[in-house]
Amino acid sequence: MNKKASLFHWVIFVIIAALSIVVLVTYTAGDVFKGEGQVYYSHMAKEAEKFDLFLSAASRSLLDDFLVQRAINGGFKAPSAGLSGETECGSVENINLWNKLEGDNGEKICLPAIKDELKEEFKEKIGSYIALYPVNEQVSETFSFVRQPTYDYSLILKKNHISGTAKTPAIFRVIKKGQVQSEYHFYPAFSFNFGYDPEEYLELWKEVQGLKETCQSAPDFKQCLIENKLPDWKIGACQGDFIHQENKWAFCVNRGITYQFAFEIR
């Protein structure tokens, strides 16, 4: 055998030996990590995904309920426990007024701060949804998963879209024989489109101002409102009643969700 053949023979031998060592090490490590360890990780990842989907669905339900309920009350809290739900501007036939005329030219404005209140509502209520999710789930006789969900979210509201990300991670732990074997951290998040603008109130306010300017001097104010309102507007309450007391008028607008409010027009 010449030198080149001999060298080639030894190179092949070294490569085969090296591969044998790699296979041996991989198999040995896998017997510990890829076996039990990988089972732990797989279970935690699945549980985390389930928890994230649960929180996303709960968040959508919470926010939709809040916005729908607020819109039908002019953007404000509904009356509860015998308490009045009216704003500082008052109401007409239990429909909240968005303004109150004062003196000759004065006017008090009562528009809802829906963005800030939505964030407060979410922070206050999401915990009650999370409380419905099991805290521990026994997977076998030897280990279980312990969830530590977060309650505080950073919310970003842009037009008809909202996204939220937890400020601190939810933690899933594998505990075996009283000892933490592994942890899985992730930041729950959600993102969805409402199909309507939660801050439509300012746009509706501007549209009311346009109606006021158009109809203030009209001989038949009601007829002027009917003729000049936008197609998705209705003069009166949403349930069908025409509501008008002195210079206070009720309106109903269907724009993805149903808004009901009243306005005082000089």
Q: What DSSP string describes 49-89?
A: HHHHHHHHHHHHHHHHHHHHHHHHTTTSPPPBTTB---BTT
Q: Tell me the pLDDT tens digit for each residue of 181-193.
A: 788 888 999 999 9
pTM for the full model?
0.76
Q: Tell me the pLDDT tens digit for each residue of 240-253.
A: 777 777 888 999 99
Residue 106 has pLDDT above 80, yes or no: yes
Determine the Cα–Cα distance for residues 236 and 168; give it in Å rounded to an integer.
47
Average pLDDT over residues 55-72: 93
